[in-house]
Structure 1
């Protein structure tokens, strides 16, 4: 007896807070939005946002919704009673903690991690990241900056410019702040990582965020994805995503995957607006810059989002 065909679920995705491989820069939050909406409705919603924000014909960006005089429009669009209720979700990553967890995986794990892994799903690495985060909050700013810059240079390996040896400054930098990361065994692991980097980069929070989105929406049907153009989403990596979905959930499949320019596709532009509003709201809180009544985004933030477990996760959930 054959199983009935599963429905196909069309979703549009875009991100906000692209870090370009540098996980310890000024951007603290990465947000990846996935929205279930068809093209005609998306075009209508984008036009309505334009009308309400008086944006005219220029490219519509989330920054337009993040201004004090347009937050009421953002609240209408993404709020729990808004037009996207039940049809949008955002995977949010604290990039500082994500990077520290990746560092712990490289230095302390017995096997080299892959970029598909969600950093907080490695319990030991995530615990180390939280400890390093608290430790760095208590050291002089120059020491904190030196450690984070060293970690950035260590993790940020590209195929065009690979480091073939442990950066000369890293053992001293690590020993000063986190001695276990400068132990001989840790440095050996770092050397192996630099010599033979994983196929998928560890510094791209987009990869585990997209993997989560496919898993999430596949509960409703086979995802057919239209995504903003990103060089990291190569055909080979999309095939790995598809294989991972099928392995995790036999019978499910990736129905399609298309990369488009967000400026020409209203569905992706809508996902960009949602991601941008959520990212700005969460980042303002993490930087202590939140003012006035925040936009209600808590219902959109995925439970799997790797955020700090202290106050930010609870605060985000409270924004409903």
Structure 2
């Protein structure tokens, strides 16, 4: 028997394979896109067990579609199939996790992190105040301006992103709000130079890890969560244009810095791997269930079934919906901080 002297693990210990997929990607348009939640799921099942579960889904739904998606499971007439998939005795129980990202909160978190170089508490203070304190118009203006400030593309908006953002900050200050939020906004108002430096850096070319991308940090958190105790993990992921060789190398290096024994990330076509298909199902239904909770019209039964799968490291700012989905807002991890190229608060 051979042992790894560095950490006490067997050198010949086989990596745990976790199959992954996502739902809710809108590129850098996190505020005005088609979805307000991003979900990334990981499933660890033997291939044969996963294939049997996918066959069961197909046999129960009986759709002529060649490739099944989460939308099939979300139809009311297939409710029983979805409940079976998420059930405590179902095929995914104890074998799957899903990282949730509330996109609007990610925008605020990244903007505040970039400009104030602080942890996420300052962002959480502003986000908790939100539209209830500042009003729908000023808050929507702030979110949109923050999104445009951070994104790589500039589509020729009439007002430069930096000027637009600080105009939105001033609008929030004029609207008034809780003292703690006003303090953060006052400090934000004095960061023009830092914001302009960020925009100037983008002229040299896009960063390896876009600040507004929820996928790459979610993959890192997935690797860390499955590598508890230093167990080696290999990720098998649905093919994505964003997952270039350089970014995969970044994911592996970053996950290792945060304690994951990530041995690598392999890309496959979802239709060729039943485990990835199950991850696609879970990510899609989790995104819809979480979005419904965010808007106050969740399905209590489905949310209850989803809860055991929701990762504590999810990036979520809304307290009320998070209490129903997974636990206290503090039990989460931050995303990529602009300019640092790393994952914080893991």
TM-score by length of 2: 0.78
- Offset of residue 58 of structure 1: 2.9
Change (3 A) 1:309 1:286: closer
1:75 equivalent to 2:83? Answer yes
For 2:127, which of 132, 135, 158 is the aligned residue? 132
Say whether residues 1:236 and 2:243 are aligned partners: no
TM-score (normalizing by structure 1): 0.84
Within the candidate set 15, 23, 34, 1:16 is matched to 23
In the TM superposition, residue 166 of structure 1 has moved relative to its aligned partner by 4.5
SS of residue paired to 1:196: helix
Q: Does the aligned pair in 1 maintain the 2:236–2:268 contact within 8 Å? A: yes
1:222 aligns with 2:232: yes
- Return the offset for 1:299: 0.3
Q: Deviations over 1:120-144 (max 9, x none)?
A: xx63x34324423423334443333
Q: Is the 8 A contact 1:166 1:190 kept in 2?
A: no
Which of 309, 312, 319 pairs up with 1:310?
319
Instruction: Give the deviation of 1:161 after TM superposition.
Output: 7.7
Equivalents in 1 of 2:35, 2:121: separation in Å?
A: 20
Report the counterpart of residue 338 of structure 2 in structure 1. none
* CA RMSD, Structure 1 to Structure 2 (Å): 2.5
Contact 1:107 1:181 in 2 (8 A): no
Structure 1 regions of 5+ residues with no counterpart? Answer: 110-121
Moved more, 135-144 or 196-205: 135-144
- Tell which deviates more after alignment, 196-205 or 91-100: 196-205
Gaps of 5+ in 2: 5-9, 174-184, 328-346
Is 1:172–1:182's contact at 8 Å kept on the other side of the alignment?
no
| DSSP-derived class of the 2:262 partner | coil
The structural deviation recorded for 1:22 is 1.4
Residue 32 of structure 1: aligned partner: 40
- Provide, for residues 172-193 of structure 1, a one-character-per-residue CA deviation record: whole Å limited to 9, x for no partner: 2221115536634x11111111
Q: Once superposed, which parts of structure 1, at least 4 consecutive aligned residues long, lie more than 4 Å away?
A: 160-163
**Greater RCO (CA < 8 Å, at least 6 residues apart):** 1
CA offset digits 1:11-68 (Å, max 9, x no partner): 1100111121112134221111000023332222111111112223432010111122
Aligned residue among 188, 195, 220 for 2:193:
188
Change (3 A) 1:133 1:27: farther
1:87-128 alpha-carbon deviations (Å, 9 max, x no partner) = 10111111111111111112222xxxxxxxxxxxx63x3432
1:290 to 263, 279, 298: 298
Q: Please tell me whether the aligned partners of residues 12 and 226 of structure 1 are also in contact (alpha carbons under 8 angstroms).
A: yes
Three-state SS of the structure 2 residue aligned to 1:49 is: helix
How many positions carry a matched residue from both structures?
Answer: 300
